Structure 1
Amino acid sequence: MSDDFADRRARAREKLDAIDPHKREGGVAADPKRVKWFEAVYELAGDDPAAVPWAGLAPHRLLAQWLDGRSLAGLRALDVGCGLGDNAEALAAAGARVTAFDLVPRAVEWARRRFPQSAVDYRVADLFEAPPEWRGAFDLVHELYTLQALPDRLLPDAARSLASFVAPGGALLVIARARDEAQGIDGPPWPLTRAQIEALAIDGLRIASLEDIAAQGDMVRHWRAEFVREEARG
């Protein structure tokens, strides 16, 4: 990230925080799912990716590490909250047949423009009202930073939605900022506690691995967790 990019990001973040109702008392009622704010992010960004706080213009390093040397050939993958598409493209480059979705139409349009020759199926969809044909349809579900952007009361519903996408024998990979239970936070975003990560093991999912990754360089502490669903028995 260049100094200029970082400066543009910081200025954009300041403006976005100023219009985020969840930064104010009583703001949850004004925009409970943060839909209006997410739409405002992409509208105000124009064509500047620096103004989209989660757009790194490259796969997230913790996803890239997880994918390193790993083949997803033939697997059906779902990228949740795809943003500008870098993580979805990394999954496709590893061999997966990828469906990627975002709540905001402008984000999906932007991703399609960035990768015009992509095999990724970019869709507009809502995590809480996903297409019924996605139920149990994916061998790998990848979730990065969507959960930490949601208020606590939405996390149980989000967990059920994520679990519903995972096929028998499939996996859910979650990457999120981490915090201790007693640690004060001034979100959003709201880094997740271990208990919140462990609570994703529902509806037939179990924890296969849970990494507590210490801060390094410009990256704060993160969780990287993998959940699996057992193969269906005949």
Structure 2
Amino acid sequence: MSTEPRRWQTEADRLANASLEKGDPTGWFEQLYAAGESGAVTMAWDHSEPHSLLADWTNAGAVDGTGKRAVVVGCGLGAGAEHVAGLGFATTGFDLSPTAIRTAKSRNPESSVDFRVADLFELPDDWRRSFDLVVEIYTVQALPRDLREQTVGAVVDLVAPGGALLAIQGVRAPDDDGSGPPWPLTRDEIELFSGSGLRRVALEKLRDAQGFTDWRAEFTRG
């Protein structure tokens, strides 16, 4: 008799807490994706469509990436990166998890996206300030708050002169007890993206297609 795999959210909490106890705040991502690949749990962040707030933003702005470069941070299984590539950008999608990147490639065998295994804190030097569009969705909130400034700074450093950053993060609720994952952001924390020469263009608090309340913030490097 077959049994349904456990929901990945519960396993994420267990793995994250165990990883944090070992002083390794990022080790649980690969463990979670590997558990999904094996069928032990449902696959984490398993979406065939881009985040609704990303799609709405690109549609409303008629974003055209022809002749430009884009990067999707923590791209997971690749839906967001595929959407961005479809706008004409030469797109890189990277994730810390080899399983996530392997799955993204297998699901999109004809993709133009350059899917890479990479650590946000140890990125190639030639990526620094090299992308005309940087998309960051939920990666910052997936890491503990004591890494917030470091994580935001690493994302910001990808934005090229004249480039844009779109950041989508959960809104921290007033009754948030600080336990995670995730660790949603306050207004002050989303404003951290304004550092290192970036200027805020727009900041909205919106309900996404799944019913969650998120920050959607756009920044540019002058």
Q: Which residue of 1 aligns with 2:12?
A: 16
Distance 2:185 2:5 in 1: 23
Higher alpha-carbon deviation: 13-22 or 96-105: 13-22
1:41/1:51 contact within 8 Å kept: no
3-state SS of paired residue (1:133) = helix
Residue 147 (structure 1) aligned with residue 143 (structure 2): no
Identity of aligned residues (%): 42
Distance 1:216 1:31 in 2: 33
Residue 30 (structure 1) aligned with residue 22 (structure 2): yes
1:99/1:123 contact within 8 Å kept: yes
The residue type equivalent to 1:14 in the other structure is T
- TM-superposed CA distance for 1:102, in Å, is 0.5
Q: TM-score, normalised by structure 2?
A: 0.90
Q: Which residue of 1 aligns with 2:36?
A: 45
3-state SS of paired residue (2:7) = helix
Within the candidate set 149, 153, 160, 1:156 is matched to 149
1:208/1:226 contact within 8 Å kept: yes
Consecutive unaligned residues in structure 1, runs of 5 or more: 1-7
Task: Return structure 1 stretches of 4+ with deviation > 3 angstroms.
Answer: 180-186, 215-218
Higher alpha-carbon deviation: 99-108 or 175-184: 175-184
The residue type equivalent to 1:66 in the other structure is W
Residues 1:136 and 1:18: Cα distance change in structure 2 (over 3 Å): closer
Q: Which residue of 2 aligns with 1:79?
A: 72
Residue 188 (structure 1) aligned with residue 181 (structure 2): yes
Q: Which residue of 2 aligns with 1:225?
A: 217
Distance 2:53 2:151 in 1: 22
The residue type equivalent to 1:159 in the other structure is V
Q: Deviations over 1:8-53 (max 9, x none)?
A: 686232233233326xxxx634143222x111111111266x8233
Distance 1:19 1:157 in 2: 22
Residue 166 (structure 1) aligned with residue 159 (structure 2): yes
- TM-superposed CA distance for 1:106, in Å, is 1.2
- TM-superposed CA distance for 1:145, in Å, is 0.8
2:37/2:99 contact within 8 Å kept: no
Q: Which residue of 2 aligns with 1:212?
A: 205
Distance 2:55 2:216 in 1: 12
Within the candidate set 45, 48, 51, 1:57 is matched to 48
The residue type equivalent to 2:24 in the other structure is P
Distance 1:164 1:184 in 2: 30
Higher alpha-carbon deviation: 119-128 or 216-225: 216-225
Q: Which residue of 1 aligns with 2:170?
A: 177
Aligned ranges 1:191-202 → 2 under 5 Å? 191-202=184-195
Q: How many residues align?
A: 218
2:15/2:32 contact within 8 Å kept: no
The residue type equivalent to 2:44 in the other structure is P
